[in-house]
Structure 1
C-alpha cells in the first residue's frame, strides 16, 4: 500500500482512502441537490369521525329480576312500575335538564347464568315520544320466569351491553333489581369490583315485598346484602322496595336520581360499621 505525504501537514494519507472520498463526494453532492429541490413529504394526519348523535348524558342498563321467586303478580307490578316511571314528568324533566338532554337506555330481564332477555334494545330517550316508544316495547313483551338468581351473570351481561353499544355517555350506570342473593355463577363481589374499577356505577333495587311471609328473605336483610355485595361506584345507592304500592314511586325516584346524577344527603342504609357485615359469598 503506497503512502503520500501532504505538503502542508506532512501527514501520510492512504491512497485507497483518497480514492474512496473521490467516489463518495459526487454521490453526496447529488443527494443534497435532490433533497434541496424535492418537495416536502406530506403525511396524512390522524383523523376521526365525530358523530354528535352518539353523545348522551347516561348509558343506562335496566337489569330486571325474573327469577322463580318473582310471582306473576309481582312481575306485573314491576313492569307497570318501570313503564310509569319512564313516562313520568319527573323522569322526562331529569332527562331534558342534562347537558345533552338525551340518555341511552336498554331493558334486560335476567335469571340464572346466561339467562338474559333483551325486552327493549338500546334507545335514545330525549322527549315524551321517545320515552313512550321505549315503554311500549316493555309493555308488549311477554312475561317470563326462570329458575335461578345469578346477579354475577346479570352484571357481566350488562357491562357487555354497555361496552358494545354505539353511544358515548358522560356516565355509565347499571340499575339492577332483585328479590334474592346471588346463588349461581361465582363471586358477585369480584364482578362488582371489576365493573367499578372500569368506571361503571351499579345501583340496586332490592325487592323486599315478601319479608312478612318469607322467613329466609327477612333474615337475610336483602337491603344490607345489596349495600355490601352488589352496588358500587361513584354515587352508588340502593332503594329497598317493601310493598307493591310503593314500587312505582321507588323506581321513579331511582331513575330520576340516576339520570340527574343525584345521591342521598344521608345514606339510605346504616353504615356497615354500625352493623354486622353481610357474608357476600354465603350463597355463591
Structure 2
C-alpha cells in the first residue's frame, strides 16, 4: 500500500538485485521467484509483526552497469500479509533482461541515494545487495561502501556462488570473502553465501528475517559476519583486473 510520509518503520530496506549478463535467463527467473516467495512467507510476516512498530519500508531495484538501476517495486509499507503478497506479486509481474557489466559500487550509491531520501522515519536503514561476481565497472566498491557506512547505512550481502550464465570468466572462488572484505559494512552486517540455486529462497528468507529484526544469527549458521581482520589485505580490485585482462584477450565487454 502507498506509504505515508514520515511514517515510523522498524527498518527501511532496499533490495538491490543483480541482473548482469553473467546470470542466465533461468537464473534471473529463479532469483525473482525466490525474492517473491521470501517476502510473502509467513516467517517474514512474523518477523515484521514482532518489530517495535510492526511495519517496514521496502523497495526493490535491479542493477548491472553503473548507469543501469531500474526500479522494480517502489517504496512500500509492509505491515500485513496482504501488503507482502502485493509486493511479491509486483516482483513476479516484472520482466528482467540481463545487462552488461557489474558495478556493485553503482548499486550501493543508488541505494544510498534512495535511503537518503526515504519517505519514512526509520529506526535502521539497510541495503541488501545480491550478486554473482565482483565489481568490474565504475568507482572502486570500497569507496561506495565506506561512504554508505559513513551515512549510517548497513550493507548486507548475498553472494551467488553458482555456476552458469555467459560471464563465468568473472567467477571467483572466494566471492563470499570478497563480499565480506570489500562490500558489506556497518553494525550487524553479514554475508549469506548461496552455493546452489536450490538454497536461494531459504537464504533470502533468512536474510530478510535477520534484517527486519536487526540481529545476528545463532552459530553455527552459514553466515559470515563483518569483522576486523588482521589477515593479509584483500584485493578489492580483482573484478576490474579480470575485466581488463579479458578485454585485452577477447575484446569482449560483458
Could you tell me how far apart the structure 2 residues matched to 1:209 and 1:216 are? Answer: 12
> For 1:283, what is the secondary structure of its paired residue?
helix
| Per-residue deviation, 1:70 | 0.8
Say which one has the larger Rg.
1
Partner of 2:249: none
What is the CA-CA distance between 1:281 and the residue it aligns to? 2.1
1:223 aligns with 2:179: no
Do 2:133 and 2:170's aligned partners in 1 also have CA atoms closer than 8 Å?
no
Return 5+ residue gaps in structure 2 as ranges: 241-254
How far does residue 165 in structure 1 lie from its aligned partner after superposition?
2.4
Confirm or deny that 1:124 pairs with 2:77: yes
Deviation of 1:273 (Å): 4.3
1:82 corresponds in structure 2 to 35
Deviation at 1:55, TM superposition (A): 0.8
User: TM-score normalized by structure 1?
Assistant: 0.77
- 2 CA distance for matches of 1:216 and 1:164? 34
Task: Give 1:277 deviation, angstroms.
Answer: 3.9
Q: Is the 8 A contact 2:127 2:155 kept in 1?
A: yes
Do the aligned partners of residues 185 and 140 (structure 1) sit closer, same or farther apart at CA in structure 2, a change above 3 Å counting? same
| Distance apart, 1:216 and its partner CA | 5.2
Corresponding residue for residue 235 of structure 2 = 279
Distance across 2 between alignment mates of 1:252 and 1:277: 32
User: Which residues of 2 match residues 173-212 of structure 1 at below 5 A?
Assistant: 173-210=126-163
The alpha-carbon distance between structure 1 residues 139 and 94, as it changes in their structure 2 partners (threshold 3 A), is: same
Gaps of 5+ in 1: 1-50
Q: Decide which of 148, 154, 176 is 2:107's aligned counterpart.
A: 154
Q: Which residue of 1 aligns with 2:244?
A: none
How many pairs align?
232
1: distance between equivalents of 2:92 and 2:52? 29
C-alpha contact 2:133 2:172 (8 A) present in aligned 1: no
Alignment RMSD (CA, Å): 2.1
Aligned partners of 2:170 and 2:239 also within 8 Å:
no
Structure 2 residue matching 1:246: 3-state secondary structure: helix
1:44-193 superposed matches below 5 A: 54-193=7-146
Gap change, CA 1:52 and 1:182, over 3 Å in 2: closer
8 Å CA contact 1:228–1:272 kept in 2: the answer is: no
| Counterparts of 2:137 and 2:5, CA distance in 1 | 40
* 1:191 Cα deviation from its structure 2 partner: 1.1
